[in-house]
Structure 1
Amino acid sequence: MESIEDVQHVVVHGHRRAYRMCGSGPALLLVHGLACDSSTWLEVMPTLAERFTVIAPDLLGHGQSDKPDADYSLGGYANGMRDLLTVLGIDKVTVVGHSFGGGVAMQFAYQFPDRTERVVLVATGGLGREVTPLIRFLTVPGSGLAIGAATSSPLRPVVSAAMRTLARLPVRATRDLGEVATIYEALADPAQRRAVQRVTSHVLNWHGQSVTMTDRSYLARLMPVLVIWGRDDVVIPASHADLAPTQVSDVHVLEDSGHFPHKDHPEKVARLVTEFVDSTEPAHYHRGRWRALLRRGGEYELESVTPSA
């Protein structure tokens, strides 16, 4: 198995997909957030790899993956995750998604319940409208030109250094600026900038998140769900955790943590994920139960429904 630092590549549908893969055991699929890449998981991967086969891809349009003029919708990303897993010979996973990646994780579970054992949502999008104005700005006409100018080579090192300096201050409002600096640098690439704007056009408008999964959250009765959030998240409010589909699992709001709890408390997040897998049975897809739940909108007891083919 390759080391955590190694980035591998495979071509799917004519596009090169980058991913990291390490460890052995039950499979965990780690899906990063908007304008990030698989490196966001590097601090939790060593611990998780002791128990699991960990797959952390760069989403299409991000990191070292290709950035074509392609489908950047939630459904398109879910399809891409399924196809990557198929190429890698992995049948079922516990899918872990951060921020926008949480929306991809929920969409993956919704589209492919037969391949999803559990869902872990980390400071996830897709549960409410509120989101930081910095992300909403990406939906404004002309924002691409503005970001291009703001990330030009004369400014970029100065701004990045200032963000990372502020991130070291003991101030809650600036704790995530180190990660923001990495995103800022990534947006200097015109191809990634276009891809990120294509993503935001599918799920956001100036008023906030326009696509949520709350209308389908009752389907979580058929699948274990774990939610992890940072108390001091200024990107997506921790109050969205109250809207999470947690009929069968728990919410953990971590103190002294912002939008990247897996960076703020990597050992604790790895432990929560490991304990979650150990304490829950993997979901088993039954078409009859799924059909009955859809027909009744969740307004019944699962135990009263006999699974059928």
Structure 2
Amino acid sequence: MTAWQLERSFDFHGRTVRYDVCGSGPPVVLVHGTPWSSFNLRHLIRRLSADHTVYYYDLLGYGQSDKSEGDVSLGVQNIVLSALLDHWQLHRPLVIGHDFGGATALRTYLIDGRAFEKLVLIDPVAVSPWGSPFFRHVRDHEAAFAGLPDFIHDAIVRAYVKTAAFEPLAEAILDGIVAPWTGSAGQAAFYRQIAQADSAYTDEVQAAYAGISIPVQIVWGREDAWIPLERGERLHAMIPGSRLSVIDDAGHLVIEERPEEVIATIRPFLAGDDTARG
């Protein structure tokens, strides 16, 4: 597998956010989650770029973006996305968010008041409670984890990531996921973003879901062990007129496990087919 590389950069208050653009057609913005990066969106990017201009980036503190000490919480990610939309001069784009990317998109729409044409949420972090015992343990002992020997840290990240998939991930995929979290800066960044994860950021907007007025499609891996399907069903009930699509034999990392099914599910929705909503 060739190295994943983002060629463009945006300055966000002195911190670099790496991004790229490809394809042609109506604009669609892709937002990844945690502990992922735009690398995990590559299947969607390639397929959607056939008929869309695809904008994608690494969240602040993730992937190839700035990993220096600072705020990388959900409380800043919507501000980053809003700034990128201005930089890209996008108004009412289609937006697709996975995991924390879904929360970021929701916060950008509800808090920053940015207009979206449609919104696709893939196994999003959106309904409390969330945050695993591992998250809580890292929050209490962030400094100790950041100082682990490299080989122990690598083993922890790989073991953690594997639990997001229903079926075993290929080693090349694991390598691509783990790569941004290696080295002293990457290791510290990995535990920093977990320590700063807080359900207060979704609690802040959860009550506003009932007021979402744009078309929304929710996609869920049926075997998601990180955020069970029941949360997707609750989110579906909270967003008026939303569509819930469940993909079999896939876990939380459905964008890696079943990319063809994800594309087949969302492409008609993006193209204008809202008849199956509800």
Shift of 1:234: 1.0
State the aligned residue count.
264
Q: Map of 1:137-216 to 2, 5 A cutoff?
A: 137-139=137-139, 141-146=140-145, 148-149=147-148, 152-155=149-152, 172=166, 175=168, 186-188=180-182, 189-193=186-190, 195-197=192-194, 199-200=196-197, 202-203=198-199, 211=203, 213-216=205-208
SS, match of residue 251 in structure 1: strand
Which whole-Å deviations, capped at 9, do the CAs of 1:27-72 have from their partners, x for residues lacking one? Answer: 1111111232111100111110011111111011111111244443
Shift of 1:86: 1.3
Distance 1:105 1:163, change over 3 A: closer
Query: Which amino acid in the other structure matches residue 146 of structure 1?
Result: F
Q: Find the counterpart in structure 2 of residue 48 from structure 1.
A: 48
Q: Distance in 2 between matches of 1:246 and 1:162?
A: 34
- The answer to whether the 8 A contact 1:176-1:258 is kept is no
Distance 1:212 1:272, change over 3 A: farther
Alignment gaps of 5+ in structure 2: none
Distance 1:262 1:183, change over 3 A: closer
Distance 1:210 1:219, change over 3 A: closer
Match among 217, 231, 240 for residue 209 of structure 2: 217
What percent of counterpart residues are identical? 24
Distance 1:28 1:99, change over 3 A: same
TM-score in terms of structure 1 length: 0.74
Q: Distance in 1 between matches of 2:199 and 2:203?
A: 5
Q: Find the counterpart in structure 1 of residue 252 from structure 2.
A: 259
- The answer to whether the 8 A contact 1:186-1:192 is kept is no
Shift of 1:187: 4.0
Alignment gaps of 5+ in structure 1: 282-309
Which whole-Å deviations, capped at 9, do the CAs of 1:159-183 have from their partners, x for residues lacking one? Answer: 677889x78xxx94x6469667765
Aligned CA RMSD, in angstroms, stands at 3.1
1:236 equivalent to 2:227? Answer: yes
Distance 1:69 1:92, change over 3 A: farther
Shift of 1:8: 1.8
- The answer to whether the 8 A contact 2:250-2:258 is kept is yes
Q: Find the counterpart in structure 2 of residue 81 from structure 1.
A: 81
Q: Distance in 2 between matches of 1:224 and 1:65?
A: 31
SS, match of residue 43 in structure 1: helix
- The answer to whether the 8 A contact 1:128-1:212 is kept is no
Q: Find the counterpart in structure 2 of residue 27 from structure 1.
A: 27
Structure having the higher Rg? 1
Q: Distance in 1 between matches of 2:229 and 2:158?
A: 28
Q: Distance in 2 between matches of 1:98 and 1:233?
A: 13
Q: Find the counterpart in structure 1 of residue 96 from structure 2.
A: 96
Query: Which amino acid in the other structure matches residue 227 of structure 2?
Result: I
